[in-house]
Chains A and B, each alone.
Chain A
């Protein structure tokens, strides 16, 4: 029982990341009809927002270490600690949550620039050409990051206060064995909040209503005299922000390197297809579902029955779904069914 709960938790945080990326992909596809292979790169850019904020905050100079007396010893001390001895260390400690604030405008700008600068010229082209050009863009972004940050993963720490593990079991009155890292719990909650925010935005605002109407019948909304294109551009920016936030918060879980985006992209595409192209709810549900399935498949009990299943489970599910249910779990009838 404990083991099962733990596996579900394990699956949920990864599922949260899949769901966030898949949500952005679906937003872009549902509104603009764009198959965006550069979406993983946006996730990676988010993670590198956290990395760069951390390295800016810890810009340091060599200061003489007074505690060593018999020779001249120097140690690196961040400027922040020199200037503000009181709160400097705390700010540095909270680098990742702080980067969220920076990442939102940055990712929005990147998203808008991408849509206006490249993607809008590809509305009328085939899906194959969209895939190819965004694939090229993903390579370019990836290489720029590699040139600036190197090829190695860069560890980015979560604040000290949440560094340990939460004893969830005793918190909710179950067995003491259920222990889970705080940051992953926070990630899960964060993912749910962001997803909830996006849905609320689409459901309860006028802007969201227009967007939903536009996804359903773009020409009709256009005929009613509403500039749908402009709003869709903003939605693309929003999708970039969602991917970026997913990346920022994932940095403490998995030290980001330049190809983290590609790794997640392939899986997220599979998630989108399983959920149903163009269905936002489907993307989220499939994200969590596949995350949990993957974590169950990597338990030793399952692996001893079917060796290697943990490596392929997601793809296997996708293949089966695509063949028996062409429009995915929750896809609308008639949207991309062949």
Chain B
């Protein structure tokens, strides 16, 4: 009985929504309770949830999702420039455009699987990135990045002048900065999470999971897997577009560097760190990476000495020398090491770690069996 309650959608959603909406309260003690950072949590959480719909459910490892993020950002900024400073049309157009873009790329890339799929998506993302920097400059404004200017047409709200200053994105007049901005992103995160939950529990989600564990068998049972894969790809591309547009909402500026493949690598890191194929994992991973990026990259020699002042003097210097390369500028080193450790010892990410600690042995065994079949299937292909 209790198990049923624990796994019911209502319970999960209430728990998740509660946790997200009270973030300012419980993140304050660890120094993350300010809106800018929490907004980042929500945005990258959405990005990772969407990525997980593809990678977590179908097992297709895409290295090109940053392209959709970039398209979303550009679409949102153009909507701010041409239509209105209202965020709703911006989000709408971002999702439409990134969806179309994802459909085009997915249509071609999904003809292949495995490593070839990864390389095809990587190739498309690099193409978009290179084009955004060179030929598409009229649309993307090249290296400078796409920005708002004072003489943008803004057909829908041209009348409301902002006294000579650049306008900022609003939701029907409500400024999208500070806590308003955070709560807006948080609500979208909750909606996005709900949709992902629905997807993973629907027959459609089951088909996707079936593709992950053994695509050949799925085909033999009579499923044409291709439309399902394309749909999953487009959905995850739209999530990325949504995240991109929210980035533009927090700061109306879009640059091509958002499309570089290292940015795609980042979302892969988040998803894996949190736990591939789990629902909460990607959000958790995104939060943890963005939190530690914020904390760790702020350290320098002085603040390290302050933090470690309680140690004896000689000890303090040794510890500082040891820790120094991993913080501040070297934050990516920590990230790389952490990521390798997770892949080596805990391929299921933090969620698997939690499972292990709380000993859900039955589930684990089932998951391992599924992974083993998947691996066998892969070997037979290769």
Contacts and interface: CB of A to CB of B under 8 A. Distances in A.
B132 to A, nearest CB: 10
Interface in A189-230: none
A1 interface: no
Contact of A316 (B127, B347, B381): B127
Contacts of B114: 127, 336, 338
11 contacts: A118-B340, A126-B374, A129-B343, A132-B61, A140-B336, A142-B336, A144-B325, A262-B262, A273-B116, A308-B136, A336-B116
A270 B119 contact: yes
B330 interface: yes
Interface string B83-127: 000000000000000000000000010011111101110111011
Contact of A143 (B133, B265, B268, B336): B336
A131 B127 contact: no
A133 interface: yes
Contact of A129 (B261, B347, B382): B347
B59 A315 contact: no
Contacts of A262: 262
Interface of B: 59, 61, 108, 111-116, 118-120, 122-124, 126-127, 130-131, 133-136, 261-262, 265, 268, 272, 325, 329-330, 332-333, 335-337, 339-340, 343-344, 347, 374-375, 378, 381-382
Contacts of B111: 323
Given A121-B344, A128-B59, A133-B343, A319 B124 contact: yes
Interface of A: 33, 35, 118, 121, 124-129, 131-133, 135-140, 142-144, 146-147, 262, 266, 269-270, 273, 277, 307-308, 311-312, 315-316, 318-319, 322-323, 326, 336, 338
A118 B337 CA distance: 13
Nearest to B333: A143
B116 A322 contact: yes
A307 B135 contact: yes
A336 B116 CA distance: 9
A139 B133 CA distance: 24
A262 B126 CA distance: 12
Contact of B112 (A131, A135, A338): A338
A139 B119 contact: no
Contacts of A323: 108, 111-112
A132 B122 contact: no
Contacts of A316: 127
A78 B330 CA distance: 31
A5 B282 CA distance: 52
Contacts of B130: 308, 311-312
B375 A126 contact: yes
